Amino acid sequence: MKKLALSLALITFLALPLAGCNTMEGLGKDTSAAGHALEDSAQKTKSY
């Protein structure tokens, strides 16, 4: 039972972001936004 609940939670977690981008263009925009957020975070935590 625990394994089933974990599997359902994982599937839901992975499916939600994909539901937001219905096209390849949307996927590209989402990926680009994630990359920019990662760059910004890295710049803020850089110590030199």
pTM, whole model, 2 decimals? 0.47
Best CA proximity match to 34, nearest among 26, 46, 23: 26
- Tell me the residue range of the domain where 19 lies: 2-45
Q: What would the mean pLDDT of 19-42 be, rounded to a whole number?
A: 81
Residue 36's pLDDT band, with cuts at 50, 70 and 90, is very high
Helix/strand/coil for 2:
helix
Q: What would the mean pLDDT of 16-37 be, rounded to a whole number?
A: 78
Q: Tell me the pLDDT tens digit for each residue of 4-18.
A: 888 888 888 877 776
Best CA proximity match to 32, nearest among 24, 14, 11: 24
Q: In total, how many domains does the chain have?
A: 1
Residue 36 corresponds to which tokens in the numbers above? 């920019």
